[in-house]
Amino acid sequence: MKKLNLAIIGQGRSGKDIHGLYLRGEKNVYYNVKYVVDADEYRRGVAEQIYPGCKTFADYRELFDLDDVDIVVNASYSEYHYPITEDLLNHGFNVLVEKPFARTRYECDRLIKLARDNGVTLAVFQQSNYAPIYTFAKEVIDSGKLGDIKQVSIRYNGFVRRWDWQTLQVKVAGGLYNTGPHPVCLGLSLIDFDPEYNVVYSKLDTLLTSGDSDDFCKIIIETPERPVVDIEVTSADAYSDYNLKLIGSRGTYKSTTLKYKMTYVVDGENPERPVIPTFLEDENRNPAYCREDLVKHVEEGDFEGDAFSVGTPTLYEQLYYKLTEGREMDITPEMAAEVISVIETVHAHNPLPLKF
């Protein structure tokens, strides 16, 4: 198997500790990290140590003089995802861009068109959709055990405070742009990116953060024939006990990123009870509550791996075969653009004051 030459822009938390963790690991049998770009001299020095034989640059435009780069990973600051990706596509490079894909749907659509017009591949790093928490939930839905799914609830919540660049609107940051692409993409995926979806309610607020962007977000998405999707991305929730919940006509499924549990009933095991159109009473003629012990089934288990240990390698594997054989990836740029549509809509409905 021929390895592809890869250049990565940015050696921050994502570039070094997410993409880099995979690219330096045993699961990477597809890529050779040949070039690393970072404006910081110290980080370039570290890159030369952890990627033996790689060459480093301070400016990504130095890549334009090279003819041996098969794919460029744009893990720059969020505000540069669009302009740097645009520049790379215009120079004929295949690009994997970190989330958020861009600030607006217009920017996403422009990048998609540029990739198509220039005959190159564009992919977006939405690796959470390859994680067990999502793939297993999809299996549960498809199995029919829960009946018709009526609601999908996704929580990416915690109780933390930030004061870095990820709290500033001018940096295309905040909880929704930074963390939100993951739960929004999961939610849209679980309704098959239904084109008739509509953001019927949203709320953004600034609570604990030192910046001027959101650290509280609530989104409700509806479609005519699909489940309600309820999404939260909140940094002020100390008691969230799940990441994903499915409510169906026959049962409920709940999971964290580590484990799951579901309780459901099976057709025929709980015969229908005739309706009694009056009050209920016990054998002593005392008022009685309407209750019964349903025959229920309970399943639970643990996940092996998460969005990083499973999701990242899976996305990079799919990207390799997209580049070498033209296979379609599970999450396309068009899908990632819909994620930004939701985020852009929520920000438009909930403008926050600019302070920085």
Residue 314 has a pLDDT of 98
Which residues make beta-bridge pairs with 56? 36
Residue 248 maps to a domain: yes
**Can you give the pLDDT of all 356 residues of the chain as single tens digits?**
899 999 999 999 999 999 999 999 999 999 999 999 999 999 999 999 999 999 999 999 999 999 999 999 999 999 999 999 999 999 999 999 999 999 999 999 999 999 999 999 999 999 999 999 999 999 999 999 999 999 999 999 999 999 999 999 999 999 999 999 999 999 999 999 999 999 999 999 999 999 999 999 999 999 999 999 999 999 999 999 999 999 999 999 999 999 999 999 999 999 999 998 988 888 899 989 988 899 999 999 999 999 999 999 999 999 999 999 999 999 999 999 999 999 999 999 999 999 99
d(CA 329, CA 125): 11
Residues 25, 161, single domain; the answer is: no
Residues 183, 62, single domain; the answer is: no
Ramachandran bin of 92, using left for φ above 0, alpha for ψ from -120 to 50, beta for the remaining angles: left
Q: Give, in order, the Cα–Cα distances in Å from 40 to each of 46, 49, 57, 170, 326.
A: 10, 15, 10, 21, 36
Q: Give, in order, the Cα–Cα distances in Å from 22 to each of 25, 28, 33.
A: 5, 6, 11
d(CA 291, CA 118): 65
- Pairing state between β 31-37 and 55-57: parallel
Residue 206 maps to a domain: yes
Q: Give, in order, the Cα–Cα distances in Å from 210 to each of 163, 213, 214, 236.
A: 5, 9, 10, 13
Residue 120 has a pLDDT of 98
d(CA 319, CA 330): 10
Residues 59, 134, single domain; the answer is: no
Residues 103, 220, single domain; the answer is: no
254: domain range?
Answer: 130-309+339-349
Residue 316 maps to a domain: no
Determine if the pTM surpasses 0.85: yes
Packing angle of the helix pair 181-189, 333-349 (nearest 10 deg):
120
Residue 1 has a pLDDT of 83
Residue 76 maps to a domain: yes
Residues 158, 52, single domain; the answer is: no
C-alpha torsion 319→75→102→227, nearest 10: 60
Residues 157, 273, single domain; the answer is: yes
Q: Is 280 helix (H, G, I), strand (E, B) or coil?
A: coil
> Domain tally for the chain?
2
The CATH number for 101's domain is 3.40.50.720
Residue 245 maps to a domain: yes
d(CA 253, CA 141): 10
Residues 248, 152, single domain; the answer is: yes
C-alpha torsion 210→214→215→218, nearest 10: 160
Residues 169, 219, single domain; the answer is: yes
Residues 134, 92, single domain; the answer is: no
Encode burial over 229-268: b for 16+ CB neighbours within 10 A, e otherwise.
Answer: bbbbbbbeeeeeebbbbbbbebbebbbbbeebebbbbeee
Ramachandran bin of 90, using left for φ above 0, alpha for ψ from -120 to 50, beta for the remaining angles: alpha
Residue 229 maps to a domain: yes
Residues 134, 119, single domain; the answer is: no
**DSSP conformational letter for 116:** H
Report long-range pairs for 270-273 (Cβ below 8 Å, ≥24 apart). 270/294, 270/295
Residue 84 maps to a domain: yes
- Residue where a domain terminates, one of 81, 102, 127: 127
Q: Report the run of H or E that residue 252 belongs to, with start and end.
A: strand 251-255
d(CA 83, CA 141): 39
Burial, 354: exposed, middle or buried (Cβ in 10 Å; 0-12, 13-18, 19+)?
A: exposed
Residue 291 has a pLDDT of 87
d(CA 338, CA 196): 12
The CATH number for 256's domain is 3.30.360.10
Residue 107 maps to a domain: yes
Residues 135, 120, single domain; the answer is: no
- Residue where a domain terminates, one of 127, 154, 176: 127
- Residue where a domain terminates, one of 127, 158, 174: 127
**Residue 342: closest CA among 215, 130, 182, 153:** 182
Residues 221, 116, single domain; the answer is: no
